[in-house]
Structure 1
């Protein structure tokens, strides 16, 4: 490894360690005064949300909402195009996402759900924000580099490089000051903090510098033993039936060793299944593995199937109930878009004012 690469890795480790320490402080502040935070989070509608999303981010959004925070959830339809040529089945994916949000407990009375393309003023903020970062800074973003490396396109569009700045507009349009993220998204949030800081220095104090709230959720692998992903066909969708869940878990990758242990480093496939069962049952994964013991992969998969179907049953029931009234589901998005538009228009007016009407 070169000296430059070593330094970059060290910087990444330092940023992550600092974010973890800050997240501990933030959790304490959240308990003391949740009303001072405005949360911004969301998803790209590229396919069905799955169990990895649920345990990684979705249930935490409901927690923050229930603590009394103002939560904004964006369905990032424009950002679907960052790593693909067309937005396939966009309406279907957006409505499925809405159903999942409502089913897990996102409350439209306390959280604002909206989509990119319905809020023009938000997207217009991207132009002045782009003037605050250099091409070199965007090129150095390690998350963008990784996303480009795993892109399904032979040639990556300029939209991929501007993706972090578009995310800055997502966060800052509503003056969000808390962003729940995984560690891999920290470079994107640093771009947002940079944009806010430079805008304030150049034009006057308008935007907060948002903090990252790191998730403590462990990584769940897909049924093939690789990263769980909507695009890889290795996930269990929140909207899956009990039978579909059983079939997918039955085909999950394990190993040749019969005795079940929880050892993520040496037995990733087996351990991810143990962890999934433990999360669904709110139990320690070591205890779950010990209980299965010599039952082997068959007993493990049976335990996981029962745990997942039990945990997801009420969510699936609520999802089916909402699906019978899509008029209401669509009205949730319309109301969210209306509120987001009001806030974005006010922010854009404020930005124009401090910039001297220059945009």
Structure 2
């Protein structure tokens, strides 16, 4: 009896010790992952600064790939967050390709919706902000077969566990509430790798949270080289794409949450001045009449001040001090004025483009043709490296 009790106690102690050890191991793994992530982020920030310096000296060594899903109309969150940065890099002389990711629309949706209208609106917005089709190639996923054919060899280079660990896939899987993911959504990281590698882009502007996505592309490029080899002995088929951490500014919606068409909290680039005023008059502020710039304590007010600062080039704190007792009404009035002034030339150009839809679609078709030429050449190299050129 005593021995039995002793044995039971010992087993319980051992189980508790093992559980404690497991928790400690998990904590240590989390700490190591966090430390590794922070160290990786620091390296990425340092490398981004070095790339910016190199672009300033000689941009000719870079080819950049970026893009958007045509799920809705572009808004000022896109403009201040990424579009201005793309325009800056184009003007700096970086060769740029912009992807209209129409296939990604059906990755997590049951239908395409008014896809042609949205694609045309996307291209119209690109052109209206100053993207120059003579210097920047605008193309659509679905119109470049060789790009999508790269998915097959690339899928042979990744495991299902790697795909499930991808942050976007993981988040979507958790958000489904048990609904099965589509195969296209599961393989989204590989499709993204094909987007980047088909044109041998060596520069991809990303936010900090998107670094793991780019790392998956780098892994695919390395594994292709290791498994299938090279055409030229000293040159891999695919380059190691580098991250250019975005210098764009994050702005929230008019309700203080993430800017999203589904939330009705956006100012779209296509809106009129009156429509913009109507949206901004409904913007959330707070009960304190005296305007101050306090991102932590007054995020909604700070967001409106940030947008005003981006429009004027002024410090948000200085704008707050100027408005002072003018309250939320005074802040909104000021923001409506400066935002409409900022968007006026874009809207004027957009109106011209909307009156010439054939021109807009011709730009896309020309970009598709350029992208197809690049993709066909890359696919030819892939087949040769894999021994499939017959």
Q: What is the TM-score with the length of structure 1 in the denominator?
A: 0.96
**Contact 2:80–2:250 (CA under 8 A) maintained in structure 1:** no
Q: 2:253: which partner in 1? A: 222
**Contact 2:380–2:389 (CA under 8 A) maintained in structure 1:** no
Please, which of 145, 170, 190 is the counterpart of residue 170 of structure 2? 145
1:84-163 maps to which residues of 2 (within 5 A)? 84-150=109-175, 154-163=179-188
1: CA distance, partners of 2:108 / 2:33 = 25
Q: 1:235: which partner in 2? A: 266
1:307 matched to 2:338? The reply is: yes
SS in 2 for 1:231: helix
Q: 2:80: which partner in 1? A: 55
Change (3 A) 1:45 1:34: same
1:324 matched to 2:355? The reply is: yes
2: CA distance, partners of 1:212 / 1:261 = 35
How many pairs are equivalent?
359
Please tell me the root mean square deviation across aligned C-alpha atoms, in Å: 1.7
2: CA distance, partners of 1:215 / 1:151 = 29
Q: 1:194: which partner in 2? A: 219
Q: Say which is worse superposed, 96-105 or 216-225, in terms of deviation.
A: 216-225
Unpaired runs of 5+ residues, structure 2, are 1-22, 231-235
**Contact 2:63–2:201 (CA under 8 A) maintained in structure 1:** yes
1:30 matched to 2:61? The reply is: no
**Contact 1:143–1:187 (CA under 8 A) maintained in structure 2:** no
How far residue 274 of structure 1 moved from its aligned partner, in angstroms, is 0.4
Q: 2:296: which partner in 1? A: 265
Q: What is the TM-score with the length of structure 2 in the denominator?
A: 0.88
1: CA distance, partners of 2:37 / 2:285 = 32
Flag the structure with larger Rg: 2
**Contact 2:74–2:268 (CA under 8 A) maintained in structure 1:** yes
Unpaired runs of 5+ residues, structure 1, are none
How far residue 152 of structure 1 moved from its aligned partner, in angstroms, is 9.6
1: CA distance, partners of 2:39 / 2:200 = 26
2: CA distance, partners of 1:253 / 1:112 = 39
1:181 matched to 2:203? The reply is: no
SS in 2 for 1:302: helix
1: CA distance, partners of 2:272 / 2:176 = 30
How far residue 64 of structure 1 moved from its aligned partner, in angstroms, is 1.0
Change (3 A) 1:50 1:110: same
Change (3 A) 1:162 1:33: same
